Amino acid sequence: MATPHVLTHARGQLHTDRLAGSAPGRRFGPLRTSLLVGATAALTFTVLPGTASAVPGNATTADQAAAQVAEAEHQLEVVAEQLNEAKVVLAEHQDAARAAAEDSAAAEGRLDELDGHIRQVARSAYTGSRMSELDVLLTSTSVEDMVSSIGTLDAIAGHTSKVLGEVALAAENAEESREAADAAASEAERAIDEIAAQQADLEARIADYQRQYDALSAPQQAVVAQAHGGADSQPMPTQVVAASGAAQVAVDTALAQVGDPYVWGAGGPNAFDCSGLTAYAYAAAGVSLPHSSRSQAQMGQSVPVDQLQPGDLLFFYSPTSHVAMYIGNGQMVHASTSTQPVKVASFNAMKGDFTHARRIAG
């Protein structure tokens, strides 16, 4: 069998994509703080599982070896989906950093604008022959003229005070934006380093898993496939009718990918992992989903299993690490495992690991 693709490009891509569009030292404005906190809280990683339980050499029988390889494959998918989730969180950091840079630039522009305005007000208020109330008293030709002139000076002074207040507030907001963006940038850098370390370990595990899998006999390889979505693909349905136009497009798009290879971290158009397939299918329907089974598990509305409709997303394991799309009649389409291409399978084959379903459209 072909060696599965690995995420060799991801580390370089993450580093080249870091905080694109934001200048060094820029920071989030106060309105970005909640996003920063939320993204930081979401950026957690499960420690990679130990290798002992996943090495066939520790098994005493061929069946045990096959079972251990199947478990290793599931562990790899768990880590791969954690990487997908981390990329989603990093994208949120980057979007917020870009917005913070825009906010900070706007604040700086406002400071420049107000600085020029203050100079103009100062010149009009404190130059010329009528620069003080004493001048007004000495030069007014009547009581009415004096009252009018003093009122004008008071208005100028009040306006100047208001403008100065706006300048101070703008300066404070700009500084807060810079401080928050700097904290977010540091957090994003830490996340990138942690992702890179996890990815290196994942790549080594993928290579080791491939070696293990290749050493198995055909029947043992079938055991591995059976453990993750069924050994045998089911025939394509003749017709699937969804409850909405968006769901119909998503189902049709997912089914059109049947036969494409499973690739960790891939989101199409010619290879997919589980969340990459569902995100790709719904993108064709104009619905944006994050490339992460854990994030997708929070989208849409909860659906009881007895009310499933074509297009609903099915989630498996706890914490969530696999997603499939229901297509009706007890069937689903999914990118199941590196040993199998995108395929139609029986929902019952994985029902023991099923946790919940979400309706994205319909």
**Same domain for 180 and 280?**
no
Type of residue found at 83: L
Q: Give percent above pLDDT 70 in the chain.
A: 64
**Same domain for 264 and 154?**
no
Whole-angstrom distance, CA of residue 241 vs CA of residue 228: 27
Whole-angstrom distance, CA of residue 187 vs CA of residue 90: 9
**Same domain for 220 and 240?**
no
Whole-angstrom distance, CA of residue 34 vs CA of residue 199: 28
Q: Which letter, b or e, does each residue of 227-238 get, where b requires 16 or more Cβ atoms within 10 Å of its Cβ? A: bbbbbebbeebe
Q: Which letter, b or e, does each residue of 317-331 get, where b requires 16 or more Cβ atoms within 10 Å of its Cβ? A: beebbbbbbbbbeeb
Is 207 or 297 the better-scoring residue by pLDDT? 297
The string of pLDDT tens digits covering residues 306-349 is 999 999 999 999 999 999 999 999 999 999 887 789 999 999 98
Measure the N-to-C terminal CA separation of the chain; round to a whole number of Å. Answer: 39
Query: Which domain CATH number covers 268?
Result: 3.90.1720.10
* DSSP tag of 204: H
**Same domain for 118 and 258?**
no
pLDDT at 65 over 70: no
- Three-class DSSP labels, 264-307: CCCECCCCECHHHHHHHHHHHCCCCCCCCHHHHCCCCEECCHHH
**Same domain for 238 and 213?**
no
Whole-angstrom distance, CA of residue 139 vs CA of residue 104: 47
Is 147 or 248 the better-scoring residue by pLDDT? 248
pLDDT-based confidence at 249, cuts 50/70/90?
Answer: very high
The yes-or-no answer on residue 322 being catalytic is: yes
pLDDT-based confidence at 12, cuts 50/70/90?
Answer: very low
Whole-angstrom distance, CA of residue 81 vs CA of residue 78: 5
**Same domain for 64 and 208?**
yes
Q: Give the mean pLDDT of 296-305.
A: 97
Angle at 287 between CA 34 and CA 277, to 5 degrees: 100
pLDDT-based confidence at 29, cuts 50/70/90?
Answer: very low
Identify the H or E element spanning 190: helix 143-214
Strand partners, 345: 332
pLDDT at 122 over 70: no
Q: Which two tokens stand for residue 249?
A: 């497009």
Type of residue found at 205: R
Q: Which two tokens stand for residue 229?
A: 């979505």
- At residue 278, the pLDDT reads 98
Q: Range of 270's domain?
A: 230-359
pLDDT at 113 over 80: no
**Same domain for 209 and 320?**
no
Last residue of a domain, one of 170, 205, 227: 227
**Same domain for 206 and 235?**
no
Among 74, 93, 228, 334, which one carries the catalytic annotation?
Answer: 334
- How many domains, the chain? 2
Instruction: Give the least confident one: 79-93, 262-276, 279-293, 327-341.
Output: 79-93
The yes-or-no answer on residue 356 being catalytic is: no
> What's the mean per-residue pLDDT of the chain?
74
274: Cα separation from own chain's centroid: 16
Q: Is 212 left (phi over 0), alpha (psi -120 to 50) or beta?
A: alpha
Last residue of a domain, one of 195, 212, 227: 227
- At residue 274, the pLDDT reads 96
Q: Give the mean pLDDT of 55-67.
A: 61
Among 9, 274, 291, 356, which one carries the catalytic annotation?
Answer: 274
- At residue 62, the pLDDT reads 66
Q: Which two tokens stand for residue 136?
A: 């007004």
pLDDT-based confidence at 68, cuts 50/70/90?
Answer: confident
Whole-angstrom distance, CA of residue 266 vs CA of residue 272: 4
Q: Which two tokens stand for residue 59?
A: 């098994």
Last residue of a domain, one of 199, 227, 255: 227
Among 93, 228, 291, 322, which one carries the catalytic annotation?
Answer: 322
- At residue 267, the pLDDT reads 97
Whole-angstrom distance, CA of residue 231 vs CA of residue 353: 16
Q: Is 312 buried (19+), middle (13-18) or exposed (0-12) by CB count in 10 A?
A: buried
The string of pLDDT tens digits covering residues 127-156 is 544 445 555 555 656 656 555 555 555 565
**Same domain for 214 and 259?**
no
Instruction: Give the least confident one: 60-69, 201-210, 225-234, 289-298.
Output: 225-234
Contact by Cβ (8 Å): 77, 292: no
- At residue 56, the pLDDT reads 41
- At residue 123, the pLDDT reads 60
Contact by Cβ (8 Å): 332, 353: no
**Same domain for 121 and 143?**
yes
pTM of the model: 0.65
Question: Which among 227, 222, 218 is positioned nearest to 349, based on CA atoms?
Answer: 227
Please name the residue that has the structure tokens 């104009």. 286
The yes-or-no answer on residue 274 being catalytic is: yes
Which residues are CB-neighbours of 37 under 8 A, at least 6 positions away? none
pLDDT at 223 over 50: yes
